[in-house]
A = this chain, B = another copy of it.
Amino acid sequence: MTVYNIALIGFGGVNRALAELIAAKNQLWERDLGFRLNIVAVSDLYLGSVISPNGLDAMTLIEAKFEKGGFGQLSGGNAETDNETIIKMAPADIIVEATFTNPKDGEPAVSHCRWALETGKHVVTTNKGPVAIAAQALKALATANGVRFEYEGAVMSGTPVIRMAENTLAGAELKGFEGILNGTSNFVLGRMESGLDFASAVKEAQELGYAEADPTADVEGFDVRLKVVILANELLGANLKPEDVTCKGISGLSASDIEQAAKAGSRWKLVGSSVRNDDGSVTGSVAPRRLGLDHPLAGVNGATNAVSLDTELLGAVTITGPGAGRIETAYALLSDIVAIHSAGASAIAKEAA
């Protein structure tokens, strides 16, 4: 039986949810997946950091009501956090990066990933920043160091759009994709269809916890744009930067636009898309689009996300599922570790051969 020692970088909602899953599911995973997870380090900007080579009890980590600097009370703990030291020195097989997304330059998460890969540790992350900004460089670094850089959760939380496109649809010849990649804006559009104006719909989304105090990234398409970059680079072999993707949000849609679409048997959706052009180049865009009701994305309601993959041999294949959520996003990290485990099993066999 395999044990993976993991270090959690950031102890907010997602990594806390992963710790909850570890506390509840390790035995099940041992039986069904062939491994268990052991938390050997945690760092958090607010709580501090701790390294414990024998492993920290997941339940204790979740239940202790730590205050600012609280990890300093633990054996091996420090009230301050020093991510570079933690990532480089922790006896971890896998670094779990779940700090905040910086859409500008991906930092400090890009450095977190680099430190990990350079010291021969796998990285799994749900952080869009380093993936959108530096996936190619970080994947090359991973390969050079014989480890993996996995990020299923950077798009659609645990809904496995990346692995579906790359593994289960291998050979189907992907030509492009269109997706509903932001639950908040999709929720807002749905509420506008029920008669609310844009401002009231955003307010309701904020009250329900779907939208942040500043909803700009969601409703202006910037969040979707990062996801389009990630998927286009990963699935279509592009090398796009965020500024290469045209971006228009939904704040310009009026109640009357929504109403006219309904009358014409269509719906407005904020669609992020990318396509491989005839000359081999790949372009991406984010824009509100009026979709006929028979479009694969037209029926995607509420905060749900979906990506419709346009393939040569199968036509459209669409995957629909959660796009956010603590546990849903923590599952993405688990699915990345499953992928590392599967690859590791054959890599070990190949090495021995």
Contacts and interface: CB of A to CB of B under 8 A. Distances in A.
Interface of A: 21, 28-29, 32-33, 157-160, 163-164, 167-173, 293-294, 296, 298-302, 313-322, 327-328, 331, 334-335, 338, 345-346, 348-350, 352-353
Contact of A32 (B29, B171, B328, B352): B171
Nearest to A319: B319
Nearest to A160: B168
B327 A313 contact: yes
B328 A314 contact: yes
B320 A315 contact: no
- Interface of A, helix, strand, loop or mixed by DSSP: mixed
Nearest to A331: B313
Most chain B CB inside 10 Å of its own CB: which residue of A158, A168, A169, A350: A168
A314 B168 contact: no
A51 B186 CA distance: 57
A160 B171 contact: no
A288 B234 CA distance: 40
Contacts of A160: 164, 168-169, 317
A158 B33 contact: no
Contact of A319 (B172, B318, B353): B318
B316 A317 contact: no
Given A315-B321, A349-B349, A167 B168 contact: yes
Contacts of A296: 320
A229 to B, nearest CB: 22
A320 B320 CA distance: 8
Nearest to A338: B170
Contacts of A298: 299
